[in-house]
Amino acid sequence: MAKRGTRWKGPAIRGAKLVLGALIVWMVARALVGAWDDLRAYGETIRPSGAWLAASAMLYLLGLSSFGVFFARIMGRSRTPIGLGVAQRAYLIGHLGKYVPGKAMVVVLRVGLVVPYGARAATAAFATLYETLVMMASGGVIAGLVFLLWPGPPIEIPMGGGRSVAAPLAILSLGIGLPLLVLATPRIFPRLALAVSVPFPGVGREALPGFSAGLLLEGLAWSLLGWVLLGLSLVATVQAIDPGSLPASGWPPAVAAVALATVAGFLVAIFPGGLVIREAVLTAALGPTLGAEPAIVAALVLRLVWVVAELGCSGVLAALRPSRPVEADAESLAPVPASASGPSPSSSPSGPTEP
């Protein structure tokens, strides 16, 4: 009986991977088609610069890679560290998981991609959760500080029953970022991680990376770089559509708009990839500079560029596997806490995160 079960284990795993891959491809394709249809719905006949769109895609991938470096640094503080290349590959491919509602697929993908290279599954899940938490906290705080200096019009937040509340961008951003930053401190996050791991035997303190104030500061630094690059991706997109319409003075609000839009979209897990919420925030932040309709078009084109960039990058990385994977041992296959399978947008945007 044991041999029969072993015989079916391999095909069952391969079948599950095929189903998972098909689900992700379908969700990403739906997001891509949706972005294109939304853009066409505005009746805009635009002839964007291909060079600037390529620059936007490259800046976006560099921004994601900055967050990926922090993911690798977290794993490096654990008992099962992995190389930077393995971590970046898992981070970028796993970002596609944000397009599956609920965002848990981000964790599933990243764990599955790092365990064959020696990482412990529970550790990778905790690292994903922590990277996401720091990413969202930094995005909210950065956006809040920028909007304090460059205030824009408030954004209308639906409250149900046809009612809405006007929330200033700075207050909304800081209201998201500061509480998340408190949760990311080394005195609080390990306790939360251990609390969610209680129902899972074999997952204890040894599965946690070494969280510290230094690691948090490092994460904030890498996140700052990531948000700046993502904001510049928006600037490049606007330049591709309407050259010169966004002056240099509008670049900081663009960075803040991308940060808040991604964080807010990622927190709303019911929307795949943070769609709808992201465009609403970008439009509110960019409207005063570009005008309402050009801001909407820029947000839609940016979404299209990001989806294409993620899909292309993931396809290349999936084909380029790092050499010499190791066999996962029993410790690496320890169960992953379901609570650790929370968002990662990362993101975002938002997540197949990210977030």
249-306 per-position pLDDT tens digit: 889 999 999 999 889 877 765 444 444 567 778 877 887 778 777 888 888 889 889 9
> Nearest 5 degrees, angle CA 135-CA 139-CA 141?
120
Cα-trace Rg, the chain: 20
pLDDT of residue 59: 98
From the CB of residue 84, how many other CB atoms can be counted at a distance below 10 Å?
14
Tokens standing for residue 28: 């990403």
Q: What is the pTM of this model?
A: 0.81
Residue with tokens 């824009």: 152
Span 113-142, pLDDT tens digits: 999 999 999 999 999 999 999 999 999 999
Tokens standing for residue 165: 């509340």
C-beta of residue 124 within 8 angstroms of C-beta of residue 89: no
pLDDT of residue 77: 94
Span 144-199, pLDDT tens digits: 999 999 887 888 776 667 777 888 899 999 999 999 999 999 999 999 988 876 55
Q: Which amino acid is at 213?
A: A
Distance CA 216, CA 168 (A): 28
pLDDT of residue 78: 93
Distance CA 187, CA 211 (A): 9
The alpha-helical segments, DSSP class H, found in 198-338 are: 213-241, 251-267, 277-290, 292-319
